[in-house]
Amino acid sequence: MGLAGLAAVLALSTSPARAASTAARDLQGRPAADRKHQRYLSAYHIESKEQQLAWGKALAFWCNSLSKEAELVAPALVAPGLWRVDLRDYGMKASVWDRLEDPYFTATVKTKKWVREWHPAGTLNGVSYQAGYYSTHKTVTQRALAPWLGPRDAVYLAEKTRSVAAIVRADWFLVQTAQQADRNGTGYYDFLGARDRRQFQALVGLDQKLSEKLQKETRAVVSKSGVALHNRQVVRYATVAGAYWTTLDVNNQTGKRNALKNLDGDYQHDAEEIIAALPNGLHAFFLSNAAGVRQDSAPDNIASDHTAPGNDRRVHPGHSCIRCHSSGFQKIDCWARRVYKGPVALASPDYEKAKRLRRLYLSDLDGLIRKDNAAYAEAVWKVSGLKPELMARAYSRLHAAYAEADVTLDDAAREAGVKRGELLASLKANAAALDPALAGLLALPAEPIVREHWEESFPLLMGYIRGGK
């Protein structure tokens, strides 16, 4: 590609419309049979080459962290700030992706449509009608690629991919899919395809009975935790893909919920936090109650996230786990391994039971953690070229940059794909009836906008810029 061509590509990545145009041109070059499987992630508003590189690594890590496939595949870089995702590379369902309602590339629109509906017998304008199906020209509200994109590009993308979410913002996608709570069918579990613990265990290849039979089960006791409110037990099972670690958490720590006293299958727990190796070696996360019913975030009487950068202290499967378990599995300070190394012994008059308890609670726990972390580090390095700690730090920083930071005037202009002066002129032209959230941008000094308010007001802003009132 010559300098002129490179300049054209760079120019095409600086607004939603130009990003969609670049994606449409790329899609034209894909085999016709493959186009329905293609989706695009855009960081058109990221100007720094260093930041675009960081986003490329984060998206490679995250798309593969949502994958059901054994192969690690990075999204294809189409142009600076634009990546192509082939859903087949990650075992992602189009029906899940296509429910994404990205506010920068999609919008709720009203269109006229012929609708065939059943009507009872009756009279209209003095004319009697029999009961039956009749076609009616109605106004229908639906989600579509946004009107501020080039109409030809939007139609092409929607038709060939068969999706109204053919292209979405990369940072919005990362935040949207990094948790399940408040996500309405487009969250972390939805992409993994895990409706309950049984499905999650099938995804990561756990046969619990077989693991126990082959003596591939290890346990630990934690008297105090930095996350859980009470004591907990930790269990590791070997899986086809690697390892399955789960905490057994309680809402109080007495009686049968005393993790120190009940070591032989008599411990009763209320909730589980699970980390397991995916087929590709990266980690997947799951929360459930003791019966295996999925939890979208950990109950507040079980655990809280003290590392969260904002006010949301819920433990979320996804971003909370990555931030906390930056190296993979944390070192476990096992109460049983401290206490029963002498002079107090872990014993039972039943020889087989004593042997089993020693294997569960006195075996080389640190060695298993090192082994599992090494396997995880290898997968992270293959997909991103980073060590797990650096990847977790970069991922968390990029997540927080979208989820926690307010939108400044300069941010607003960049995300709308216009110059600051053009943005201000559009707002002033509509000052008489300006959206309140956007009105703050005209204040002196400009008032930053909370991210959720910005997302809600973005279609209005794009209407102002396009000359609407």
One-letter identity of residue 158: A
Task: Give which of 94, 99, 88, 78 is closest to 21, Cα–Cα.
Answer: 78
One domain, residues 293 and 440: no
Asked if residue 189 lies in contact with residue 294, where contact means CB atoms within 8 angstroms, the answer is yes
Question: Which residue has 């120190």 as its token pair?
Answer: 260
Tell me how many domains the chain contains: 3
Please give the full DSSP string across 429-465, using - where no structure is assigned. HTGGG--HHHHGGGSSSPPPB-HHHHHHHHHHHHHHH
DSSP 407: B
Structural contact between residues 45 and 415, judged by C-beta atoms closer than 8 angstroms? yes
pLDDT, one tens digit per residue, over 27-62 is 999 999 999 999 999 999 998 999 999 999 999 999
Residue 387 sits in the same domain as residue 423: no
Tell me the per-residue pLDDT of 118-128, one tens digit each, with 9 for 90 and over: 888 888 888 88
Has residue 90 been placed in a domain?
Answer: yes
Last-in-domain residue among 356, 385, 401? 401
DSSP state letter for 75? P
- Say what the pLDDT of residue 425 is: 95
Domain boundary residue, one of 117, 141, 176: 176
Question: Last residue of some domain: 142, 176, 210?
Answer: 176
CA–CA dist 327, 438 (Å, integer): 41
Q: Does residue 294 sit in the same domain as residue 353?
A: yes
Give me the mean pLDDT over the 328-336 stretch.
Answer: 93
Q: What is the DSSP letter of 266?
A: -
The predicted-structure confidence for 83-93, as pLDDT tens digits, reads as follows 999 999 999 99
416 and 397 belong to one structural domain: no
Tokens found for residue 5: 């061509």
pLDDT digits (tens, 9 = 90+) for 379-417: 999 999 999 999 999 999 999 999 999 999 999 999 999
DSSP labels, 273-310: EEEEE-TTS-EEEEEEETT--B-SS--TTTB--TT-SS
Do 76 and 222 fall into the same domain? no
Same domain, yes or no: 197 and 249: yes
Verify that 302 and 391 share a domain, yes or no: yes
Omega cis (within 30) before 309: no
Q: Are 51 and 171 part of one and the same domain?
A: yes
Residue 98 lies in a domain: yes
Is residue 13 within 8 A of residue 22, CB to CB? The reply is yes
Residues 215 and 262 in one domain: yes
Q: Per-residue pLDDT averaged across 247-270, rounded?
A: 95
Domain, as residue range, for 419: 409-465
**Token pair for 55:** 């986003």
Give domain status of residue 287, yes or no. yes
Residues above pLDDT 70, as percent of the chain: 97
Same-domain check for residues 362 and 434: no
Q: What is the largest CA-CA distance in the chain?
A: 99
Q: What is the mean pLDDT of residues 172-182?
A: 97
From 82, 84, 90, select the one nearest 42 (Cα to Cα): 82
- Let me know if 453 is exposed, middle or buried by CB neighbors in 10 A (0-12, 13-18, 19+): middle
pLDDT digits 0-9 by tens, 347-390: 899 999 999 999 999 999 999 999 999 999 999 999 999 999 99
